């Protein structure tokens, strides 16, 4: 073998070793498929070293719009378990047709809220609430996620009985972290006086956050499924009226949103746009808990207060 060939073979071995080291987890084929980056981070804390996590929907891709490819489906069906959000968040994934054990987080977080339709949320009609359907954004309340962890640990132990002893303790430890994060968020948000706890958001993703921390989502221009669908002129008019009546200083947009509609609303009402609110993926916050901290800090600052220390 020539020197060049030897060098190439050595580089290939090093590349393979680096790839294997980067995978972490079990290293022996025990894989848990998880739909979103948020749930991947949650499941990773409970799985620990006993299973690898395969995130199906890339960060930066709307889970509402993601379409499952044949290759992705094959990856899921090779896993021990599919962990997904549920409540129609992953509408492009034929969950019921996939031949693998499945675990829906929304089945274990307590009663779900219902959307109240785009536009003003202050006085939704019964028809709006019925048409809105269940709100899938349960991860915006960390205490709901903590509530689901014992069931998740039990399901992981069921599909991987060899390592059953580790899942429960890790779930309890992570639940404690989530409760501490919840308390920290509450301290950060205490900078916002009760009368100023009104939210205008790009689309209806902060209902559970608002309920947990004492806010009110008063208006949202985009439909519940996100900014991929354009709001009607009537909806935009309702949002602008809600902004003027409430005097909110900031409208909050998710990191992945197209801000064009919100920029038009801002120019007509005089509010500022905060475009860096992570909601559907951790982004550069680095983790689910990091994302929640970032959300609390951004909202506290945007509504006129310095986040509490």
CATH classification code of 192-302: 3.40.50.1980
Shortest CA distance to 16 belongs to which of 26, 8, 28?
8
SS3 278: coil
Query: How far apart are the C-alpha atoms of 99 and 88, rounded to whole Å?
Result: 18
SS3 223: coil
* CA quadruple 256, 260, 262, 264: dihedral, nearest 10: 170
pLDDT given at position 258: 66
In 3-state terms the chain splits into helix, strand, coil percentages (rounded to 5) of: 50, 15, 35
Name the CA radius of gyration of the chain, rounded: 22
The conformation of residue 82, written as its DSSP 8-state character, comes to E
Query: How far apart are the C-alpha atoms of 296 and 182, rounded to whole Å?
Result: 10
The residue extents of the domains of the chain are 192-302
In the chain, how long is the greatest CA-to-CA distance? 79
CA angle 258, 35, 132 (to 5 degrees): 60
Q: Where are the beta strands (DSSP E) in 196-309?
A: 198-200, 216-220, 250-254, 272-277
Q: Write out the chain's pLDDT in tens, 309 residues.
A: 443 343 334 333 333 333 333 344 555 669 999 999 999 999 999 999 999 999 999 998 989 889 999 999 999 999 999 999 999 999 999 999 999 999 999 999 999 998 865 454 444 444 444 445 899 999 999 999 999 999 999 999 999 999 999 999 999 999 999 999 999 999 999 999 999 999 999 888 999 999 999 999 999 887 665 545 677 889 899 999 999 999 999 999 887 676 678 888 999 999 999 988 999 999 899 999 999 999 999 999 999 866 544
Please provide the size of the chain in residues: 309
Query: How far apart are the C-alpha atoms of 209 and 216, rounded to whole Å?
Result: 9
Q: Where are the beta strands (DSSP E) in 118-241?
A: 119-120, 198-200, 216-220
pLDDT given at position 256: 67
pLDDT given at position 262: 81
Q: State how far the alpha carbon of 240 is from the alpha carbons of 25, 34, 113, 223, 268, in Å.
A: 49, 38, 25, 16, 8
Cβ atoms of 239 and 120 within 8 Å: the answer is yes
Helix H or strand E encompassing 165: helix 164-189
Q: State how far the alpha carbon of 192 is from the alpha carbons of 81, 219, 251, 309, in Å.
A: 42, 18, 15, 13
SS3 100: coil
């Amino acid at each position: 073998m020539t020197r060049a060939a030897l060098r190439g073979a050595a580089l290939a071995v090093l590349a393979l070793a680096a790839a294997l080291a980067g995978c972490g987890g079990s290293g022996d084929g025990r894989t848990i498929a998880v739909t979103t980056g948020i749930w991947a981070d949650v499941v990773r804390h409970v799985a620990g070293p006993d299973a690898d996590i395969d995130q199906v929907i890339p960060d930066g891709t709307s889970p509402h719009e993601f379409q499952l490819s044949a290759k992705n489906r094959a990856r899921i069906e090779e896993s021990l378990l599919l962990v997904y959000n549920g409540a129609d968040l992953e509408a492009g994934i034929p969950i019921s047709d996939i031949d693998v054990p499945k675990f829906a987080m929304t089945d274990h977080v307590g009663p779900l809220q219902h959307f109240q339709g785009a536009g003003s949320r202050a006085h939704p009609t019964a028809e709006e609430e019925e048409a809105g359907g269940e709100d899938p954004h349960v991860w915006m309340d960390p205490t709901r996620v903590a509530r689901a962890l014992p069931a998740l640990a039990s399901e992981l132990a069921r599909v991987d009985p060899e390592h059953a002893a580790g899942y429960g303790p890790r779930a309890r430890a992570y639940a404690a972290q989530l409760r501490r994060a919840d308390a920290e968020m509450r301290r950060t948000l205490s900078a916002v006086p009760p009368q100023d706890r009104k939210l205008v958001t790009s689309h209806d993703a902060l209902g559970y956050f608002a309920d947990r921390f004492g806010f009110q989502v008063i208006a949202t221009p985009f439909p519940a499924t996100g900014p991929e669908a354009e709001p009607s002129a009537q909806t935009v008019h309702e949002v602008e009226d809600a902004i003027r009546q409430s005097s909110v200083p900031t409208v909050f947009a998710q990191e992945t949103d197209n801000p064009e509609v919100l920029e038009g609303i801002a120019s007509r009402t005089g509010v500022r746009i905060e475009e860096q609110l992570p909601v559907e993926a951790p982004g550069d916050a680095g983790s689910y808990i990091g994302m929640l901290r970032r959300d609390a800090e951004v909202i506290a600052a945007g509504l006129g207060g310095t986040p509490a220390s």
